[in-house]
Structure 1
Amino acid sequence: MGPFGFRCDWGRVTEIEENSKICLKWQISPKREPVPDPEKASDIYIHFLEKGESGLLKFTHFNFENHGEGFENYCKTMDSEMGWDYILKRFKEYCEGIKSNNNHQPYNKRQ
């Protein structure tokens, strides 16, 4: 559940291997709208790898053609500086903030 009680089903988990990977259906269209049909979704694989005392995340987003019209530009957008690079950078900063502040509250609603 997001801010103001808004819910958006943006995908579904298709596979989980503990401490190894998570696979998802990405059900947001090129128009940034939720699409309930998983056959019209692209796929995301997130692999967690050990790297010394820290970890490495290997992120792969593919099958954009399943989104239909506009998928080429959508793929380019998500591969750009303001796509997954931006999203994952913000996620990393959030996780680092939790770790450094020992604040384990997952989400604070805006007042």
Structure 2
Amino acid sequence: MTETTEMTVRRSVRVPCEPAKAFALFTERMADFWPRDHSIGDSPQAAVVVEPHVGGRWYERGEDGVECRWGRVVEWAPPHRLVLTWQITAEWRYDPDFETLVELHFTPEPDGGCLVTLAHRHLERFGDRADAMYEVFDSAGGWAGTMTAFTRVAG
């Protein structure tokens, strides 16, 4: 029996606001920090939406009004925890039968700020593309850049 090791990309940033505000910014204003070129739609990205409940959709809406699903909300526990499925394949297409997990924790800091920790888990599910996808998500153009952009919105 072959044992598969879980592959996870982790990123943490500190923001100068309390967890409730950081959680709200992350979930309600994702289009303000999500890279515009990180889109799976045919039209330029106009919005990124996280529906605020377990089972809610996570999707982008193009300028043409077409919605492209990215995943769904697995855990909605404001202001401290959010878990989303990432259901976009290595070919950058939505697949309802594929999923990795994006888990976020919003931890209060003594100075009134917040530590936001992201873990994109189960990248091994990309199979023979797992190492390449890990590199994509771990790069400056991946979660590092997205989380840095989030700190600018939260700042």
Give the shorter-chain TM-score range: 0.7 to 0.9
RMSD: 1.5
What is residue 127 of structure 2 aligned with on the other side? 68
Deviation at 1:70, TM superposition (A): 1.0
More helix by share: 1
One-letter amino acid matched to 1:35 = D
- SS of the equivalent of 1:90 reads helix
- SS of the equivalent of 2:64 reads helix
For structure 1, the 5+ residue unaligned runs are: 97-111
Q: May I ask how many residue pairs the two structures share in their alignment? A: 94
Normalising to structure 1: TM-score of the pair?
0.75
Deviations 1:57-100 (A, max 9, x none): 0100110122334122001110111110112222332344xxxx
More strand by share: 2
What is residue 28 of structure 1 aligned with on the other side? 88
Normalising to structure 2: TM-score of the pair?
0.55
Instruction: Tell me how far apart the structure 2 counterparts of residues 15 and 28 of structure 1 sit (CA, whole Å).
Output: 19
Greater RCO, CA 8 A, separation 6+: 2
Q: Percent same amino acid among aligned pairs? A: 27
Instruction: Tell me how far apart the structure 2 counterparts of residues 28 and 94 of structure 1 sit (CA, whole Å).
Output: 25
Q: Which runs of 4+ in 1 moved over 3 A?
A: none
